[in-house]
Amino acid sequence: MTTALRFEHSYAEVLPGLFVPWQAQGWPDPQLLLLNTALARALGMDAQALQDPQGVAMLSGHAFPDTTRPIALAYAGHQFGGFSPQLGDGRALLLGEIRDPSGARHDLHLKGSGRTPFARGGDGRAVLGPVLREYLISEAMAALGVPTTRALAVCTTGERVLRQFGLEPGAVLARTASSHLRIGTFQFAAARGAQDMLRALLDHAIARHDPDLAGDPDAALKFLVRVTHRQVRLVAQWMGLGFIHGVMNTDNTTISGETIDYGPCAFMDFYAAETVFSSIDQQGRYAYRNQPGIILWNIARLAEALLPLIDADETRAIARATEVIEDGRARYRDAWLDVFAQKLALPRPDAALIEEMHALWTGQEVDFTSFFRALPAALDDRPEVLRGLFRAPGPALEAWLARYRAACPDVAALPQRNPAYIPRNHLVEDALAAASDRGDMRPFHRLLDRVQAPYTEVAGAERYAQPPARDAAPVVTFCGT
Ligand code: AMP
Ligand code: MG
């Protein structure tokens, strides 16, 4: 019985004005398509009960048990640099919070659950392809050790929903997150000049993510520091995987430091710092190389929202917040060096070696993921595979390799620090098309199996480790909203 799921509602209890209570949509034919039983168990949920009719009704947004308190979250946000004072969950609902066996709190949230008062022109729907994309990529990120929201379930609704390329199956994603607090949540309160709301939100966020700061007279500034540290570390991890989020708007930037809202995101195959996949990112604002600058820009927007809580004297508040952002820049640099030092299994970060490696790749269309997997053999005097990844391998590569060898990497550690399998975009597209167009989930499951164990190479699965042909690499992804 899903009524046995014990929900708490700490957000709804203390943050009036930051949500709208809402109800289930009701669908023609809600069906459970995927359930992440491992996640359900890890969270202490009864995976069997989630598959009961009531469980499926809840996960699909068809009908909710009384223990839930469905709300559409209010938030604001800078989208591609322009500020919207009111965005909010236009097609999503928070059902409540559950506690895992360790006592940690997790939001249970549905995406695609129907129109809410924040829907603006949108239809409130999600379709199967993008929902499966979020499931696959968020689970891959979790397996890669990247902080992320998690995918609990996918349900189909029985509706067909009109999208850019025709009618597609309607679907709902049930996801969990350590919270759905975003920079945009703080911007919502700040934009209304609602100091009490802002203070309550800060207290709630601190209770949830930084409880040791509760009661600290300098809590707002220290909280800004914590969010900065979590986010720069997160983006450094993205950079170490060639991950491009695609929509780094402030409403998609969490307080927790988890990756959220997998839309037109993708992993880069062939290294090019200016890579952009998203069809809506015409200016390349969220290109691979821009992600570190953008996260600091987003943090600056959080700082602006927090100013009145940082110091009653605005000039002083600005000076103190500016220092945090400046420090964040240095923090990012350290995190980035640390990520690549780990990937190279170096005994200590070597900035010159790491920078030269990036310079080596430039203009060579090197497959980012394969480069690191080819290192053990190259260090073992078999550099052919590594050389083969370059369009024009030359003396610079040999010189770098000699320098790398001299830096005494821990060769045995390399395969556990560099994935063989990432959700390569051409494979993702194939898997989603099979599911969406033909109802064939087998390619999806095969790919999911690989990316859930990304470091373990499996015989016969070579094609999952290989990049597409250079001229066949997908260049555009769609957010599908
Ligand atoms: P996203 O880019 O997915 O983070 O969404 C940005 C904003 O648009 C959020 O407020 C969403 O709730 C809203 N939104 C996106 N797609 C839809 C849709 N199909 N119907 C209603 N609102 C939507
Ligand atoms: Mg979003």
pLDDT at site 4: 63
Proximal ligand: closest to the CA of 119: 1
Dihedral (Cα; 82, 88, 94, 100), 10-degree rounding: 20
Q: Which pLDDT belongs to residue 472?
A: 80
Distance between CA 7 and CA 381 in Å, rounded? 57
pLDDT score of 471: 83
Going by DSSP bridges, is the β-strand pair 92-99/105-111 parallel, antiparallel, or unpaired? Answer: antiparallel
* Residue 174 tokens, joined: 């049930």
Residues near ligand 1 with C-beta < 6 Å? 87-92, 118-119, 122-125, 247, 252, 261, 263, 481
**Cα gap 102→442, rounded to integer Å:** 35
| pLDDT tens readout for residues 213-240 | 999 999 999 999 999 999 999 999 999 9
Cα 261 to ligand 2 centroid, rounded to whole Å: 5
**How close is the Cα of 360 to the center of ligand 2, in Å?**
36
- Which of 79, 91, 172, 187 to mutate to test ligand 1, by most ligand atoms within 8 A of the CB atom? 91
Q: Whose CA is nearest to atom 14 of ligand 1?
A: 90
**Burial group, residue 312, by CB count within 10 angstroms (0-12, 13-18, 19+):** exposed
CA 89–ligand 1 middle distance (angstroms): 7
Nearest to 254 by CA among 282, 280, 234: 234
Alpha-carbon separation of residue 472 from 241, 427, 455, 469 (angstroms): 21, 12, 25, 5
Q: What is the DSSP letter of 388?
A: H
Ligand 1 nearest-atom number relative to CA 89: 12
What lies within 8 Å, CB to CB, of 205 at 6+ separation is 179, 181, 223, 255
Res. 53 pLDDT band, cuts 50 70 90? very high
Main-chain dihedrals φ then ψ at residue 162, nearest 5 degrees: -80, 125
Give the distance (Å) from ligand 1 centre to CA of residue 118. 9
Taking phi over 0 as left and psi of -120 to 50 as alpha, with beta for the rest, 393 belongs to beta
Tell me which ligand sits closest to the C-alpha of residue 118.
1
- Nearest-atom number in ligand 1 for the CA of 247 is 2
Q: Measure Cα distances from 43 to 50, 422, 446 in Å.
A: 13, 25, 25
Whole-number Å distance, alpha carbon 417 to ligand 1 midpoint, is 35
pLDDT band at 95 (very low <50, low <70, confident <90, very high): very high
Q: What is the mean pLDDT of residues 259-269?
A: 97
| Residue 461 main-chain phi, psi, to 5 deg | -110, 25
Q: Is the pLDDT of residue 479 over 80?
A: no
Please tell me the predicted confidence (pLDDT) of residue 477.
84
Residue 213 tokens, joined: 């700061």
Find the ligand nearest to 278 CA. Answer: 1
pLDDT of residue 143: 98
* Residue nearest atom 12 in ligand 1 by C-alpha distance: 90
- Of the candidates 52, 148, 142, 150, the residue with the CA atom closest to the CA atom of residue 108: 150
Residues classed as catalytic: 251
Ligand with minimal distance to 87 CA? 1
Burial track 64-79 (b if 16+ CB lie within 10 A, e otherwise) = bbebbbbbbbbbbbbb
> pLDDT band for position 480 (50/70/90)?
confident
Taking the centre of ligand 2 as the mean of its atom positions, its distance from the CA of residue 252, in whole angstroms, is 5
Nearest CA to ligand 1 atom 1: 261
Q: What is the mean pLDDT of residues 174-200?
A: 98
Q: Output the residue whose Cα is nearest ligand 1's atom 7.
A: 87
Q: Considering only CA atoms, which residue is closest to atom 23 of ligand 1?
A: 90
Ligand 1 centroid vs 38 CA: distance in angstroms? 29
Inter-residue contact 238 to 137 (CB < 8 Å): no
Ligand located closest to 111 CA:
1
For residue 408, which phi and psi values (nearest 5 degrees)?
Answer: 60, 55
% of the chain exceeding 70 in pLDDT: 99
**Rounded distance between C-alpha atoms, residue 464 and residue 116, angstroms:** 39
Residue owning the nearest CA to atom 22 of ligand 1: 90
3-state secondary structure string, 239-258?
HHHCEECCCCCHHHCECCCC
Task: Report which of 18, 4, 351 is spatially closest to residue 191, judged by C-alpha positions.
Answer: 18
Measured over the CA atoms of residue 475, residue 177, residue 431 and residue 417, the dihedral's sign is positive
Residue 333's alpha-carbon distances to 100, 237, 247, 296, 348, in angstroms, are: 34, 12, 22, 12, 15
Q: Which residues pair with 110 in a beta bridge?
A: 93, 174
Coil, strand, or helix at residue 243? Answer: strand
| Residue 478's pLDDT band (cuts 50, 70, 90) | confident
Q: State the distance from the centre of ligand 1 to the C-alpha of 48, rounded, in angstroms.
A: 31
Task: Evaluate if pTM is beyond 0.75.
Answer: yes
d(CA 455, CA 435): 26
Contact 69, 18 (CB under 8 A): no
Query: What pLDDT, in 10s, does the model give residues 302-345?
Result: 999 999 999 999 999 999 999 999 999 999 999 999 999 999 99
Residue 3 has pLDDT above 70, yes or no: no
Closest CA to 461 of 447, 475, 473: 447
Identify the weakest region by mean pLDDT among 341-350, 410-419, 464-473. Answer: 464-473
What residue owns the CA closest to ligand 1's atom 6? 87
Beta bridge partners of 166: 163
Distance (Å, whole) CA 82 – CA 261:
19
Query: What is the total residue count of the chain?
Result: 481
HSE-CB of 113 using CA atoms within 13 angstroms: 32
Nearest-atom number in ligand 1 for the CA of 124 is 20
Atom of ligand 1 at shortest distance to CA of 88?
10
Residue 241 near residue 267, CB atoms below 8 Å: yes
> Is residue 243 scored above 80 in pLDDT?
yes
- Using CA atoms, how far apart are residues 467 and 373, in angstroms rounded to an integer? 13
Q: Looking at residues 153-158, what average pLDDT do you find?
A: 98
d(CA 345, CA 78): 38
Confidence of residue 37 (pLDDT cuts 50, 70, 90): very high
Judge whether residue 39 has pLDDT over 50: yes
Kindly report the protein residue whose alpha carbon is nearest to atom 16 of ligand 1.
481
Q: Hey, which residues does 10 pair with through a beta bridge?
A: none
- pLDDT-based confidence at residue 348 (cuts at 50, 70, 90): very high
Comparing 474 with 260, the larger pLDDT belongs to 260
Split at pLDDT 50, 70, 90, the class of 1 is: very low
